[in-house]
Structure 1
Amino acid sequence: MRSQNYLIIGAGFSGAVIAEQLSKNIDCSITVLDERNHIGGNCHTERDGATGIMVHTYGPHIFNTDNKEVWDYINRFGNFKNYTHRVKAIYQDKVYTLPINLHTINQFFGKNFTPAEAEAFIASRVVKIAEPANFEEQAMTMIGADLYKAFMYGYTKKQWGCEPKELPASIIKRLPLRFNYNDSYYHGQFFGIPEEGYSAIIEKMLTHDNIEIRLNTRFNSAFDTGAYDHIFYTGPIDAYFDYCYGRLGYRTVTFDRNEAEGDFQGASQINYCDEDVSHTRVVEYKHFTPWEEHDQTVYFKEYSKETGDDDVPYYPKRLTADMDKLSLYQAQVAQLDKVTFLGRLATYRYMDMHHVIAEALQLAAKFIEKHK
């Protein structure tokens, strides 16, 4: 079989995994395009120029998974250090622990519940809905009106730019509710943060003689694809088709960078749940690398807004109108023989890093088996 020529659009985890797997297993040449001036996509990390602290350029990313195959795979490219993500929340000038756990419940209601008492108490306050139809209904069936109003309503409205009842129930299902004092934000079996950042990991994935990386290169319908045997596309699905059915809804994030001496807030992440506070959270990155020592600190206030033409898309909204448009785009995808759509943007789904990597590994394995 002759050498294959592949084009990969996007140098995030989806594109990097595909490139790494194909370059090792198929006689091929691979071109990786990215419209940004760096690899890594939204997982890009770099040292802050003023403080030397490792910063996650597009917001914090903590790797956590129960998938041992994915964990073993990602650890081939970097050393992951132990890190337990603990989040605080401010509501009406009081600090609470997230996710909602026994400490949160006791503090919020002024109680001294045992786990069983707390579970019974919350059960008595939830709303009974057989099939929750949206975010708000799902939250009310899980935690009741008081906790929902305090920790979910204002934050969610700021984050998504709409009433929570307009959002799908699936968004909140991934958030844990605990009746013990476990305050770890994630519950995966394997978790951590790469010692040298995510971009260093992706750089190693893309280091192969058969891989060419072209940054600052935007893919669009005018791009000449005739020389490629197959295309792997990880960008926004609507952009691929020049938004012919209209733009899908995304939220994006803007960042207000600040420096200070010492320790600004004592935690890596504090959510601001009051609706009248304009930012959603404050992230202080020195706390993500407790194995390092820094006299200074850098922290970012995050603001959520609708995605404009020149903004980086973050979170797919998946409202009813979005899903109607998505079905039209997916029908167009089904007509393409030599293009594979994968990843969060290309499939318009909310995916964590481990989901993205698992999907790319599975797709690569099928492609390799077919084209070896």
Structure 2
Amino acid sequence: MRKSLLMVGAGLSGAVLARQLAEAGHDVTVLDTRSHVGGNCHTQRDPETGVLVHVYGPHIFHTDDAEVWDYINRFGRIRPYTHRVKTTSGGRVYTLPMNLHSINQFFDAAMPPAEARAFVAAKAVTLPYTPRNFEEQALSMLGHELYEAFFKGYTAKQWGCEPTELPAAILKRLPLRFTYDDNYFFHTYQGMPEDGYTPIIAAMLDHPCISLSLNTQFDRPLAQGFDHVFYSGPLDSWFGQDAGALGYRTLDFARLVHDGDYQGCAVMNYADAEIPYTRVTEHKYFAPWEHHARSVCYRETSRACGPGDIPYYPIRLAKDKALLTDYIARAHCETGVTFVGRLGTYRYLDMDVTIREALDCAALYLESLAHDRPMPAFAVAP
């Protein structure tokens, strides 16, 4: 029953799967094109300031899944951290998610919760049908003023298209609060790894049955000789993008170093359309237990993902969904491979969901072996 398995990608999906299956007694080879483990969760010390930097943008761990919380704490200490986000709109700074403070500040009022709820409801646009896109969803929730101040410009910059082209479901995930709670997340467990994510993922991969090969480009012939492949690379790349490339947004980061504090918070969004970047992240605020005389920040600008760029956010517009359907059908015809993770399933996944799906995928593989059943192309449908 001992199998030889290949994990393509040393991010969270590959690391969790590798660890689970190695602990079950299988031999696992992990490949990654980059020079480090951790994928987009990679963290490292900035050599100039000593600040622990989230190299590919900030990742905050938050979950209601106690098993996932216990699992990640096996491999490194997660310290308490409350994520708070600000946004600049029209030359003024507000709190996100939009809450009672934001609403009162924007309308120069001092409304209690019930009054504010009724006030915003009166501003909302009544549609004779279910909202069909992001803009209609926003207008039906917030009305024109709040939508245009906080969401319209930012959304166009982030996604590179008009909000009318985006699905309504994107906005449904954003909370609107009628309290002064400014914790960005609702989840029971929230924190940051004391030493960053990279040591945690390295610890997951530290097992005698796991071999790791970095700076290694995967191509299909490398899969030969393994009993099964778990592929966390882009789904379309498995097929050489021969039917076309799935759409992603990528990010450009402009680094800046500042003496003392730069902006006084971890994340400052910029909602105005005329400001080309979407946000500035000040990384020492992601480790509030540390103290640094200098600060390192990254200014993020979103753009279309081209060849050679790092894919961050799947766009999933109509043309992408049609192409995705084609690739999914072809993936189901493959044997000996399971597509996992945000790239392998073309979905935006939080870290806790990534870990949960990897744990479940490993369990499914072991169950399939035990009952002599083939492993499906997807443990979770894209």
Identify the TM-score tier after normalising by the shorter chain. Answer: over 0.9
SS in 2 for 1:253: strand
Aligned to 2:157: 158
SS of alignment partner, residue 150 of structure 2 = helix
Bigger shift: residues 288-297 or 137-146:
137-146
Counterpart secondary structure, 2:255: strand
* 252, 266, 269: which one aligns with 1:268: 266
Shift of 1:217: 1.1
Question: What are the superposed Cα offsets for residues 290-324 of structure 1, whole Å, 9 maximum, x if unpaired?
Answer: 10010111011111110010100000000000000
Partner of 2:258: helix, strand, or coil? Answer: strand
Q: Is the 8 A contact 1:6 1:230 kept in 2?
A: yes
CA drift at 1:125:
1.2
Q: How do residues 90-169 of structure 1 correspond to structure 2 at under 5 angstroms?
A: 90-129=88-127, 130-169=129-168
Instruction: Provide the aligned C-alpha RMSD in A.
Output: 1.0
Q: Tell me the residue number matched to 2:6.
A: 7
Report deviation, 1:176.
1.0
Superposition deviation, residue 29 in structure 1: 1.2
Q: Corresponding residue for 1:181?
A: 180
CA distance in 2, matches of 1:128, 1:13: 43
Match of residue 233 from structure 1: 231
Q: Which amino acid aligns with 1:42?
A: N
State the match for 1:337 in structure 2.
335
Matching residue of 1:197: 196
Amino acid at match of 1:291: W
Question: Counterpart amino acid of 1:13?
Answer: L
Cα deviation 1:207-233 (Å, max 9, x = unaligned): 011111111111123x33221000000
Matched, 1:52 2:45: no
Q: Please report how far the alpha carbon of residue 169 of structure 1 lies from its aligned counterpart in structure 2 after TM superposition.
A: 1.7
Aligned residues: 369
Among candidates 309, 312, 325, match of residue 310 of structure 2:
312
Alignment deviations for residues 266-298 of structure 1 (CA, whole Å, 9 cap, x no partner):
000000010000111000001111100101110
Note if contact 1:316-1:350 (Cα within 8 Å) is conserved in structure 2: yes
Please state how far the C-alpha of 1:135 moved relative to its aligned partner.
1.3
Query: Residue 206 of structure 1 aligns to which amino acid in structure 2?
Result: L
Residue 269 of structure 1 aligns with an amino acid whose one-letter code is: V
Q: Deviations over 1:141-180 (max 9, x none)?
A: 2222111111111011001100011111222222111000
How many Å separate the matches in 2 of 1:183 and 1:159? 22
C-alpha distance in structure 1 between counterparts of 2:140 and 2:349, whole Å: 24
Q: 1:124, CA displacement in angstroms?
A: 1.0
**CA distance in structure 2 between the aligned counterparts of 1:359 and 1:137, rounded to whole angstroms:** 32
Is 1:42 equivalent to 2:70 in the alignment? no
Q: CA deviation at 1:126?
A: 1.2
SS at match of 1:124: helix
Structure 2: gaps of 5 or more residues: 371-382
Task: Answer whether contact 1:53 1:297 (CA < 8 A) is retained.
Answer: yes
2:27 alignment counterpart: 29
How far is 1:83 from its partner? 0.8
Identity %: 53
3-state SS of paired residue (2:132) = coil
Q: Distance in 2 between matches of 1:185 and 1:52?
A: 27
State the partner residue of 2:380.
Answer: none
**2:353 equivalent in structure 1:** 355
Distance in 2 (alpha carbons) for counterparts of 1:351 and 1:264: 30
Cα separation, 2, equivalents of 1:166 and 1:39? 36
Q: CA deviation at 1:370?
A: 2.5
Alignment partner of 1:73 out of 58, 71, 74: 71
Deviation by residue 1:171-191 (Cα, 9 ceiling, x = unmatched): 222211100000111111100
* Structure 2: distance between partners of 1:141 and 1:231: 46
Partner of 2:211: 212
Residue 136 of structure 1 aligns to a residue whose secondary structure is helix
Cα pair 1:220 1:242 within 8 Å, conserved: no
> What is the deviation of 1:128?
2.7
Structure 1 distance, partners of 2:241, 2:74, is 38
Amino acid of the structure 1 residue aligned with 2:124: V
**Alignment check: 8 A CA contact 1:39 1:199 kept:** yes
Q: 1:308 and 1:102 mapped to 2: Cα distance? A: 40
2:374 corresponding residue in structure 1: none
| Paired residues of 1:4 and 1:229 also in contact (CA < 8 A) | yes
Alpha-carbon displacement from aligned partner over 1:111-140 (angstroms, at most 9, x marks no partner): 110000000111111123442221112212
SS in 1 for 2:123: coil
Q: Which residue of 2 aligns with 1:85?
A: 83
Amino acid at match of 1:224: L
Name the amino acid aligned to 2:185: Y
Unaligned runs of 5+ in 1: none
Measured in 1, the distance between the counterparts of 2:81 and 2:230 equals 33
Equivalent residue letter for 2:173: R
**Alpha-carbon distance, 1:367 to partner:** 1.0
SS in 2 for 1:228: coil
**TM-score, normalised with respect to structure 2:** 0.95
